[in-house]
């Protein structure tokens, strides 16, 4: 792949941000971003999905759509109890850091709600840089640590209330697919990303809001109040709960 083929212009990034602020569904937006870079790579592109088990935000339709745009689709899924889609040509049941992927073998890598679970960002981003080809791209959708959602999640985990709370919420049915993996948020701010991904020649960070971030964690009676808070935070241009990261080697 030519080094500058996938370099993202300021205009294209601004267009993505406009779509996010106009309310485009975040999983669809993420899918479209990844797919655009895959198509830029041309024939023979290899796509890597890190934490591939549940697809993009617990959905596999968009994941399988991306498979049609790649020549080879490789998955990494460390949770052996999570079944993976049959759209992958190869799946490694380990973390990215331990995956036997040759250096320079990946054109585009993606990770949907994985970065918040990375305990050792130095190792993660070092491995990512190693396996991407020259000009290769990494996309991540994650939680912005600067948003109160991350603080609430961290406090619930430290106090031991996270699992009991999610079990209580599940009784109502909306949160059956929630994972309870440990969260660290160590690379989940623009400043942290600059530190850990310094080896990449282009870094992009987008933070945006959407109404309903807390819905899976709240009883129905409280959701309307949470929606008001969501809209107010968006008007004030505060950091949103969702972050999208793009790195280019």
Question: Which residues, including other chains, have CB under 8 Å from residue 91's CB and lie 6 or more apart?
Answer: 52, 74, 75, 76, 77, 84
Q: What is the pLDDT of residues 155-177, one digit of tens each?
A: 776 776 666 666 665 565 444 44
Q: What is the pLDDT of residues 20-44, one digit of tens each?
A: 988 899 999 999 999 999 999 989 9
**pLDDT (0 to 100) of residue 170:** 59
CB-based contact 199:123 (threshold 8 Å): no
β partners of residue 248 = 137, 202
Alpha helices (runs of H) in the chain, residue ranges in sequence order: 10-21, 26-41, 61-67, 121-131, 148-158, 162-170, 190-196, 220-235
How large a percentage of the chain has pLDDT more than 70?
88
The order of strands in the sheet holding 106-112 is 90-92, 72-76, 46-50, 106-112, 132-143, 242-248, 202-208
What average pLDDT does the structure give for the chain? Answer: 88
**pLDDT (0 to 100) of residue 175:** 42
d(CA 27, CA 33): 10
d(CA 216, CA 103): 39
Q: What is the pLDDT of residues 187-244, one digit of tens each?
A: 999 999 999 999 999 999 999 887 887 787 777 888 888 889 888 888 888 899 999 9
**pLDDT (0 to 100) of residue 179:** 58
**pLDDT (0 to 100) of residue 130:** 98
CATH 3.40.50.150 for domain 10-248, yes or no, is yes
Top-confidence range, 2-11, 102-111, 140-149: 102-111
**pLDDT (0 to 100) of residue 54:** 86
Q: What is the pLDDT of residues 61-89, one digit of tens each?
A: 999 999 999 999 999 999 999 999 999 99
Q: What is the pTM of this model?
A: 0.87
Residue boundaries of the structural domains of the chain: 10-248
Residue 249 confidence (pLDDT) above 80: yes
């Amino acid at each position: 792949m030519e080094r500058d083929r996938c370099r993202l212009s300021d205009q294209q990034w601004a267009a993505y941000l406009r779509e996010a602020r106009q309310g485009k569904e975040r999983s669809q937006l993420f899918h479209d971003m990844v797919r655009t870079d895959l198509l830029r790579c041309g024939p023979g592109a290899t796509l890597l999905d890190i934490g591939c088990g549940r697809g993009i935000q617990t959905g596999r339709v968009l994941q399988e759509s991306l498979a049609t745009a790649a020549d080879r689709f490789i998955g990494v899924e460390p949770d052996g109890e999570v079944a993976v889609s049959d759209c992958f040509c190869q799946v490694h049941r380990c973390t990215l850091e331990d995956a036997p992927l040759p250096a320079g073998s990946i054109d585009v890598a993606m990770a949907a709600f994985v970065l918040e679970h990375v305990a050792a960002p130095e190792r993660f981003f070092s491995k990512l840089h190693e396996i991407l080809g020259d000009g290769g791209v990494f996309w991540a959708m994650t939680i912005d640590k600067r948003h109160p959602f991350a603080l609430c999640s961290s406090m619930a985990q430290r106090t031991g209330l996270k699992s009991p709370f999610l079990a209580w919420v599940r009784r109502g049915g909306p949160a059956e697919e929630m994972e309870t993996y440990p969260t660290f948020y160590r690379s989940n701010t623009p400043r942290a990303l600059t530190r850990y991904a310094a080896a990449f020649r282009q870094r992009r960070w987008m933070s945006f809001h959407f109404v309903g971030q807390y819905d899976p964690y709240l009883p129905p009676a409280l959701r309307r109040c949470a929606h008001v808070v969501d809209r107010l935070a968006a008007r004030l241009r505060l950091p949103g709960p969702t972050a999208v990261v793009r790195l280019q080697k």
